[in-house]
Structure 1
């Protein structure tokens, strides 16, 4: 303060010169600088993400080909992209326009729809009795086996050819195809066994229906070969696609996956597909041939475009294998080699054959090629520049590479998509989960045994762009992590339930509090950096679980005086991130609600009654524990304790109340009754398994004991009293064989030792049984029977 000599305040003279400021050094690390890195399949590495228009993202994801039920492999893909989309919009706050397309006309749909229709007709055909059906099934089976064997030999020949040519790429591809085909052959063996079993029953009752079910796979293929061309009604194909399209959308809803902003169908875009193809023809990059239209790769590359950006394989796709081309053309493709100028050219429009749906076009009646659909629907909605295009690993080539080519041909650009993202394969039993291999688990089957949250957590714990295994271990790990989160939230809710302002502790930061606050800030930083680093949710989850572990250690410390506001901040933050991930959805009580009730408000208004019951139970329990120290009342006290535990373990869970006995007292929380009942069932099942295992071990030991008693009951002098021998010495050792020959000295010595050993066993038995071995035998047999009965009862 400046004062004059008279005490008058003098204001400081304003200065135009600022004091030096030392700016922090900027980071050269893109993540530390706040840049999102995204693994881009177009480059094969993580690249800084830069949207075409600031803060706006146009995102296209290939949807399902709706020919059958979706499996957990599909769940892996769509859940992974749902998580990434949520992070983009809810965490990084981009404006996302998200489009998904449904493929509702495709070779697989046509085949499956025809086969199902032909099987339906067969089922309703009264002229095909059981005996005739048996003949048809056996004939179809033999045809399928012959066809399968022929394919095996062809693949094996291709493997040998690749070896002879030192073509490692072709060899790897063919060996993979062989492995898959051998799995299919095993599945055919299973079909054969089922068909044989179904044929070897009487013709009455459900025999015909059972045979139809057992032989469906081989019969459907045979019928389609013979009569597939007769199925021409578009309604058959539409009905099939609509059924599985609806099922897919219901599955996505059940998994908690957000609906897309735009949902398109191929069949509603046929006119625009025709226009799209005409544009490519007009540019000289495609040609008509026998009613079909093919993209000319030679003309495409001559025009300055690049082909096979996602799965590079040389100029013009020269390394494209026959297997890859077959996959690109589809299961119903004819031998189109003569129609193409280059064998690697692919169809934009397919001339329809008998038994296939057709639309009129300037090229003749036909249908869209497999790849053209995505180009047209995405181009129509998102335009000539797409920020992100997503799909499963198996779509990279040929689908996505061909999609890129035809889009860039039509739009006259060299980069239609800026970032391509592909999820890794989901494996089961060492092979990619696949309908053709029959090693898949449908989404609905998975949801019968696991919750949508558990499946989501399982995928959050894996890198989205890497292969993963679906197994009991991965889902058990997800359940365990779910429990860790849930228990922590409930713990904090119980602490916050009390009025922390009225407490005498928790108003300062001690060493333990500082350590936890540092762990909390470190976790937030690691979560942020992990999400910037290619959506690394695995590391983000690990960071949150680590700080929970730190908090649990902090709470369990002797004489802990928890800082409730800090714990509440941790629980609130973790809940916010889990909301971003879609783990917490607000429709249940998972997550920290901030008021001690969770998100659902389950049991609102019941707190005073629950508190009174808990207080009463705790008083009774404490009194019982104190009285249990006296020997006289021990049995009665134990009974009281069992009643208290029964209330905790059996009754309150039905009301959605969870009690936990702690050294500091009883903690209660509200919970979804169904969740608690499920936990009770799982716990009972685990206890049952433990009990069975224990009884099985007891049975093995007791059976050994029983055999020992039986063998010990033989008197030593009777051990070798058999027809094998004629004479014995006074101790029962055989000296003459039945044929009159003398037992050799070595054998006599050996049997003498056996008799001496038996004598000791017999003496021990007599001592142990009080000279009543039969009674011991009977009691041991009774114990064995009792254990077997218990095992039998538990196995029901």
Structure 2
């Protein structure tokens, strides 16, 4: 791609085509050849090609976009947010920045092996908990049996994975080997987690209270597997599976709303589409690409490959590993897998076993395969061709490759989707976040410690299509970036508040620094635009805006400067607009006017007047507080209890009363700055600040305790006279100074080189004896007693701080 910054000029025009009037020559500027970004073309990382492709919708500016939704079997974690929050950002850029007309669909998987299994297991374990006829002793024995069975399964799986690694290694299949090693590593992490689970079970069994419910909860993981294996077939009520799915479906939607993710334009469920799924499968079977075997229906890859390409997303693969087959077939497996014509054929329809929900079909009682749902439902809503299909990196194979195959088989086309978008994994402590590894943080847990805005900034600061790190350091960086933007907005708001530019001598001329700022602003706009065209590069766009804010801060600190307030205000508006595009600043995603009473111009004017009145009230209150506070600070007798009470009241107004009103105050040497913000966000920020300060106090107290403990250890050791230091059972003979000459069990005397080291130890101890005598004024027992008393006080202070934290 050309990086030239200068284009060419086209031919000169001298005559007005409409009137024939002669005009002066004009040279038409042309874009730089070979630079799609300069031409305003959007580049997208397309998983189908493995490169950035120019985005061209199938029809005009209309974009049909399907995103794989969640399998609602458990609470969503931040690894799920990686996909949905990333695609929310991309969707907002497409609609709010580039102006595409996007129809955005998300599907909820509400019938799946994981849902069936989890619903059955929860039901069986809850029934066991409620069954008082099973006493604590019987429950303990049952937990032991279940733990042993789980242990055997885990180690059998490990052996199988190790064998697979060895086979790929000997065959020289490098890519397969890497995937197999990753699977093995993840399984080893599961075994580590299992050890912690066993420890929790043992602790519950050993408790004096003999709490049945506590034991059941500690052993839930192992008990659920054992009970499901023995009694899972007895659970047949569809309502049990539906209730489980609906619970986590509601929770997922609440989590998405809490993250500020826009609702999809269309939201669908698998269970609402069973008839359409059956018809879709029949079309594939009628074409001879699908076949029935013992009540299940499979897609024949041998037949499909006669006219189509398979594995477009992971083309280097030649065969499906056992682990991938298990993933493709689901957590409950496929009872009829032996009837497949090719081991790599995948299920379109699965014959239901006892304990699984079932629907009538031409092939008997069964349920949809995992992959078929997306093909059917996306095609029903968006048609037989998609512009975008999006999902997590881990769905490339087998899920998305199989989606492509069955869709192209049904429609008889060679390309069902133009662009596939895959969000990168989210890693925590270097490992992919996963429920199976139990290293996950739920979305609700993440939102308990950080705001949705801070999480969104974290995502914006890392490429959407690369592995993403989730760590305290990354979160701290996101919080700092948020603080930088807020501080900038506060500065500009205070500069522009209440200004009448016809009366104020501000911004009436452009000096060198003003020109430099204007140039930086224009350059930032160009950088942001090119960055977003270049595969939604929010990392560079955010960096450019942070750099611009930094330039503004430097500009404002220049001596004797009358700032160009209009320019600063324009910059603040621009930054706000881009942050709104990214969803960092949430606008009104609903409909109607912003104010409930603003139904006409008069009402809108009234709302504006009310806001102005609120700002005037805030100015009066802030001014009064600042006057009182400054007077208290300037008083000579700062120890006066009345003055301290006044300053305390000023702080309380700033940190409590005004926070609840949504009024932010910042006391600075040049005066108090203020602005209006969302009360809930402001309260969260104050709470986070206090929590951090409280933790810092705890850490400081721990440091004092640690220092005092080391001091006590040092001087307690100093009580031993140097001559007695080495008179231990380790030696059998000493010279007249107490230096060992013979080690216990040794044939000869201690070598001179070793005796020199021992003598140095004694000399060091002798100095320590002298130091103790000097520090204690000859009374070491009293000195050590004082240190112990200090340590006990520090430990008590630490305990209070930890209890209050």
TM class by shorter-chain length?
0.7 to 0.9
| Aligned-residue CA RMSD (Å) | 3.6
Residue 311 (structure 2) aligned to one of 308, 312, 320: 308
State the partner residue of 1:21.
26
Alignment of 1:207-286 (within 5 A): 207-286=211-290
State the partner residue of 1:87.
93
Note the alpha carbon deviations across 1:605-654, whole angstroms, 9 max, x for none.
344444334334444455556555xxxx4644984884455654565445
Residue 612 (structure 1) aligned to one of 604, 608, 620: 620
Q: Is the 8 A contact 1:39 1:534 kept in 2?
A: yes
Q: CA deviation at 1:439?
A: 1.6
Structure 1 counterpart SS, 2:29 = coil
Q: Distance in 2 between matches of 1:390 and 1:494?
A: 43
Q: Distance in 2 between matches of 1:686 and 1:409?
A: 57
Q: Is the 8 A contact 2:78 2:441 kept in 1?
A: yes
Alignment of 1:114-125 (within 5 A): 114-125=120-131
State the partner residue of 2:369.
369
Structure 2 counterpart SS, 1:195 = helix
Q: Is the 8 A contact 2:424 2:465 kept in 1?
A: yes
Compare 690-699 and 58-67 and name the one that shifted more: 690-699
Of structures 1 and 2, the larger Rg is shown by 1
Q: Distance in 2 between matches of 1:749 and 1:490?
A: 68
Establish whether residue 101 from structure 1 lines up as the match of residue 104 from structure 2: no
Compare 660-669 and 458-467 and name the one that shifted more: 660-669
Q: CA deviation at 1:707?
A: 6.6
Note the alpha carbon deviations across 1:187-240, whole angstroms, 9 max, x for none.
222221122222223575xx1111111111111111111111222222222222
Q: Distance in 1 between matches of 2:680 and 2:166?
A: 58
Establish whether residue 524 from structure 1 lines up as the match of residue 525 from structure 2: yes
Q: CA deviation at 1:716?
A: 10
Note the alpha carbon deviations across 1:473-523, whole angstroms, 9 max, x for none.
222222221111112112211111132422123211111111111111111
Establish whether residue 791 from structure 1 lines up as the match of residue 798 from structure 2: yes
Could you say if the C-alpha distance between residues 235 and 623 of structure 1 is closer, same or farther in structure 2, counting changes exceeding 3 Å?
closer
Q: Is the 8 A contact 1:602 1:670 kept in 2?
A: no
Establish whether residue 143 from structure 1 lines up as the match of residue 146 from structure 2: no
Alignment of 1:676-695 (within 5 A): 676-695=682-701
Q: Distance in 2 between matches of 1:97 and 1:265?
A: 17
Q: Is the 8 A contact 1:709 1:765 kept in 2?
A: no
Q: CA deviation at 1:63?
A: 0.8
Note the alpha carbon deviations across 1:306-346, whole angstroms, 9 max, x for none.
110011036xxx42222222221222233545312222111
State the partner residue of 2:575.
574
Note the alpha carbon deviations across 1:759-788, whole angstroms, 9 max, x for none.
86477448xx5x887876666555444434
Q: Is the 8 A contact 1:733 1:751 kept in 2?
A: no
Q: Distance in 1 between matches of 2:729 and 2:374?
A: 87
Structure 1 counterpart SS, 2:236 = coil
Establish whether residue 493 from structure 1 lines up as the match of residue 493 from structure 2: yes
Compare 231-240 and 579-588 and name the one that shifted more: 579-588
Q: CA deviation at 1:184?
A: 1.4
Residue 75 (structure 1) aligned to one of 68, 73, 81: 81
Structure 2 counterpart SS, 1:61 = strand
Q: How many residues align?
A: 752
Note the alpha carbon deviations across 1:256-306, whole angstroms, 9 max, x for none.
11111111111111111111111112212111211111111111121x211
Alignment of 1:363-402 (within 5 A): 363-402=363-402
Could you say if the C-alpha distance between residues 509 and 279 of structure 1 is closer, same or farther in structure 2, counting changes exceeding 3 Å?
same
Note the alpha carbon deviations across 1:340-382, whole angstroms, 9 max, x for none.
2222111111111211121111122211111111111111111
State the partner residue of 1:7.
none
Q: Distance in 1 between matches of 2:158 and 2:724?
A: 64
State the partner residue of 1:35.
41
Q: CA deviation at 1:694?
A: 4.1
Could you say if the C-alpha distance between residues 397 and 736 of structure 1 is closer, same or farther in structure 2, counting changes exceeding 3 Å?
closer
Q: Distance in 1 between matches of 2:354 and 2:295?
A: 14
Residue 162 (structure 1) aligned to one of 139, 158, 168: 168
Q: Is the 8 A contact 1:392 1:422 kept in 2?
A: yes
Structure 2 counterpart SS, 1:669 = strand
Q: Is the 8 A contact 2:723 2:762 kept in 1?
A: no
Q: Is the 8 A contact 1:602 1:671 kept in 2?
A: no
Q: Is the 8 A contact 1:530 1:540 kept in 2?
A: yes
State the partner residue of 2:118.
112
Q: Distance in 1 between matches of 2:436 and 2:584?
A: 32
Q: Is the 8 A contact 2:773 2:779 kept in 1?
A: no
Structure 2 counterpart SS, 1:605 = helix
Structure 1 counterpart SS, 2:28 = coil
Alignment of 1:538-617 (within 5 A): 538-586=539-587, 605-617=613-625
Structure 1 counterpart SS, 2:505 = coil
Q: Distance in 2 between matches of 1:329 and 1:227?
A: 22
Q: Distance in 1 between matches of 2:283 and 2:453?
A: 46
Q: Is the 8 A contact 1:60 1:100 kept in 2?
A: yes
Could you say if the C-alpha distance between residues 375 and 691 of structure 1 is closer, same or farther in structure 2, counting changes exceeding 3 Å?
closer
Establish whether residue 191 from structure 1 lines up as the match of residue 182 from structure 2: no
Structure 2 counterpart SS, 1:795 = helix
Compare 74-83 and 476-485 and name the one that shifted more: 476-485
Structure 2 counterpart SS, 1:38 = strand
Q: Distance in 1 between matches of 2:761 and 2:202?
A: 55
Could you say if the C-alpha distance between residues 353 and 561 of structure 1 is closer, same or farther in structure 2, counting changes exceeding 3 Å?
same
Residue 175 (structure 1) aligned to one of 177, 181, 187: 181
Q: Is the 8 A contact 1:706 1:781 kept in 2?
A: yes
Q: Distance in 2 between matches of 1:623 and 1:247?
A: 53
Q: Is the 8 A contact 2:722 2:769 kept in 1?
A: yes
Structure 2 counterpart SS, 1:46 = strand
Could you state the TM-score of these two structures normalised by the residue count of structure 2? 0.85
Could you say if the C-alpha distance between residues 733 and 157 of structure 1 is closer, same or farther in structure 2, counting changes exceeding 3 Å?
closer
Structure 2 counterpart SS, 1:23 = strand
Q: Distance in 2 between matches of 1:545 and 1:319?
A: 48
Note the alpha carbon deviations across 1:707-755, whole angstroms, 9 max, x for none.
777788999999999999xxxxxxx978999xxxxxxx99999899689
State the partner residue of 1:355.
355
Alignment of 1:660-699 (within 5 A): 660-699=666-705
Q: Is the 8 A contact 2:298 2:340 kept in 1?
A: yes
Q: Is the 8 A contact 1:313 1:319 kept in 2?
A: no
Structure 2 counterpart SS, 1:667 = strand
Q: Distance in 1 between matches of 2:500 and 2:231?
A: 77
Could you say if the C-alpha distance between residues 785 and 288 of structure 1 is closer, same or farther in structure 2, counting changes exceeding 3 Å?
closer
Q: CA deviation at 1:179?
A: 0.9
Could you state the TM-score of these two structures normalised by the residue count of structure 1? 0.86
Q: Is the 8 A contact 1:313 1:320 kept in 2?
A: no
Compare 502-511 and 98-107 and name the one that shifted more: 502-511
Q: Distance in 1 between matches of 2:450 and 2:759?
A: 66
State the partner residue of 2:52.
46
State the partner residue of 1:404.
404
Q: Is the 8 A contact 1:531 1:540 kept in 2?
A: yes
Alignment gaps of 5+ in structure 2: 1-18, 595-606, 731-735, 742-751
Could you say if the C-alpha distance between residues 157 and 601 of structure 1 is closer, same or farther in structure 2, counting changes exceeding 3 Å?
farther
Compare 543-552 and 715-724 and name the one that shifted more: 715-724
Alignment of 1:58-69 (within 5 A): 58-69=64-75
Q: Is the 8 A contact 2:193 2:438 kept in 1?
A: yes
Q: Is the 8 A contact 1:389 1:420 kept in 2?
A: yes
